[in-house]
């Protein structure tokens, strides 16, 4: 297997070649740390979000969905603490003027990691990560507005709207998937840390006193979810935040970490945010945000257990974890071992040769799969071996081949990407066969 940096380079080029991920505004030389998702990338992204939404919202009675706006009242970010405290320590190299996050291990040695100057840095200063812009036609301070750096605040300010309209009782949660923006000082590692990204966040409101128990439940549930996405167990671990790592709002926090080619780093954050956010919004808005327990008439501000994971980061982990190079039947191949639920293309349909009516028959099968909303791909170009390799690299779990035998008994072969085992299945059974395995 290749060196870690090699793996990242190979993945970046595979993602471009196969239409997963392109650099943003590439023809202009690219924009720093933002990426565009191509035909396969957008499918993977949708599948990641669908998997999260299904498990967090559709399979539960105690979680409601929300899609809050990106632009919010500027007071929200004062109440949340982001205006005062959502910053990273920034240092600048005296020689090359490049800027870095002061807490990066690479700059702890006081040597510039880019130009190599020793004793390169002065005092660190705090740099706020929120993107600022103006709302309306007048650019004055009263019109300043921020692009949200997290989706969570939209859930807090809508806490009572949702609790009352959905007639939920505490404990219950609000789930959101949406874009977030952070003017990161040191973005990088492909889509690991970008300035525009998407989050999948759950805010789960509980009675104070039951928060520790709920925290444990969500911690376990989130780990289960990653395992169900096929991520290797030995590549995942929990990391508890020590007192100096804890965010200002958190009583307790665990990260789920993944072992990326560039080391163990955060994948998802699970936080006990106490009643910090709702209390602050109550204070800053002057509106009561208490919950009244209908059975006891007790009033309290709920505690919040939050689970927060990036869509892009989930994609990166799925791509890295699934990537493998191997030799089969004497030939090298690259495989993206995505689980079928996440794979962008579910089935590829090939005629073995371009004659004897096989292409027409294969196209008909392909069209019937598409009509049934199974993302199928038709390919008749090149040798069958090359067509298999292209699909292995794209992460397609099954390849269906229409061959001479099909004209005799109506059966086709289905080849499994991982085991390479081929089974013969009746043409009209292919849809059912695939659907059974997608469930």
Binding-site ranges for ligand ATP (CB under 6 A): 150, 182, 184, 193-194, 197, 199, 266, 268-269, 308-310, 312-313
Whose Cβ is closer to ligand ATP: residue 267's or residue 303's?
A: 267
SS (H, E, C) 80-131: CCHHHHCEEEEEEECCCCCEEECCCHHHCCCCCCCCCCCCCECCCEEEECCC
Whose Cβ is closer to ligand ATP: residue 80's or residue 406's?
A: 80
Burial class of residue 298, CB neighbours in 10 A (0-12, 13-18, 19+): exposed
- Residues 231, 318: contact at Cβ < 8 Å? yes
Torsions phi, psi for 275 (to 5 deg):
-100, 20
Q: Give the nearest distance from C-beta 239 to ligand ATP in angstroms.
A: 11
Give dist(CA 30, CA 14) in Å, integer. Answer: 18
Give dist(CA 9, CA 11) in Å, integer. Answer: 5
Match 């300043």 to its residue by tokens. Answer: 144
Whose Cβ is closer to ligand ATP: residue 182's or residue 415's?
A: 182
CB atoms within 10 A of CB 218: 21
Give dist(CA 350, CA 358) in Å, integer. Answer: 9
- Quick one: CA dihedral 70, 73, 78, 84, positive or negative? positive
- Residues 184, 127: contact at Cβ < 8 Å? no
The token pair that represents 31 in the structure block? 């924009």
Give dist(CA 188, CA 88) in Å, integer. Answer: 16
Q: Give the nearest distance from C-beta 199 to ligand ATP in angstroms.
A: 5
């Amino acid at each position: 297997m290749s060196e870690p940096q090699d793996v990242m380079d190979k993945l970046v080029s595979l993602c471009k070649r196969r239409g997963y991920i392109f650099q943003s505004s590439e023809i202009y030389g690219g924009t720093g740390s933002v990426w565009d998702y191509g035909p396969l990338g957008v499918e993977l992204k949708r599948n990641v979000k669908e998997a999260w939404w299904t498990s967090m919202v559709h399979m539960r009675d105690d979680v409601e969905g929300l899609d809050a706006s990106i632009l919010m009242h500027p007071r929200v970010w004062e109440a949340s603490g982001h205006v005062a405290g959502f910053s990273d320590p920034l240092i600048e190299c005296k020689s090359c003027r490049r800027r870095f996050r002061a807490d990066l291990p690479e700059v702890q040695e006081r040597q510039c990691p880019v130009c190599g100057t020793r004793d390169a840095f002065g005092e660190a200063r705090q740099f706020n990560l929120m993107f600022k812009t103006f709302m309306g036609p007048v650019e004055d301070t009263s019109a300043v507005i921020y692009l949200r750096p997290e989706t969570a605040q939209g859930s807090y300010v809508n806490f009572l709207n949702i609790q009352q309209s959905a007639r939920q009782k505490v404990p219950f949660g609000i789930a959101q998937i949406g874009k977030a923006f952070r003017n990161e000082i040191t973005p990088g590692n492909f889509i690991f840390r970008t300035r525009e990204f998407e989050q999948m966040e759950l805010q789960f409101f509980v009675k104070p006193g039951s928060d520790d128990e709920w925290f444990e439940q969500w911690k376990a549930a989130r780990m289960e979810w990653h395992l169900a996405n096929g991520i290797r167990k030995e590549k995942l671990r929990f990391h508890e935040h020590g007192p100096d790592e804890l965010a200002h709002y958190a009583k307790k926090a665990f990260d789920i970490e993944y072992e990326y080619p560039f080391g163990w780093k955060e994948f998802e954050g699970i936080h006990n945010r106490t009643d910090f956010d709702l209390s602050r919004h109550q204070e800053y808005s002057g509106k009561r945000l208490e919950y009244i327990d209908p059975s006891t008439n007790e009033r309290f501000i709920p505690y919040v257990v939050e689970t927060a994971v990036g869509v892009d980061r989930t994609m990166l982990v799925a791509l890295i974890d699934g990537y493998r190079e191997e030799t089969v039947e004497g030939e090298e191949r690259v495989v993206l071992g995505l689980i079928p639920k996440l794979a962008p293309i579910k089935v590829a349909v090939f005629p073995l040769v371009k004659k004897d009516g096989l292409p027409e028959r294969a196209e008909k099968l392909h069209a019937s799969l598409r009509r049934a909303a199974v993302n199928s791909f038709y390919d008749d170009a090149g040798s069958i071996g090359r067509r298999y390799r292209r699909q292995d690299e794209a992460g397609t779990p099954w390849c269906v081949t229409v061959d001479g035998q099909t004209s005799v008994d109506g059966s086709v072969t289905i080849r499994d990407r991982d085991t390479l085992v081929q089974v013969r299945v009746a043409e009209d059974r292919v849809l059912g066969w695939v659907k059974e395995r997608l469930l």
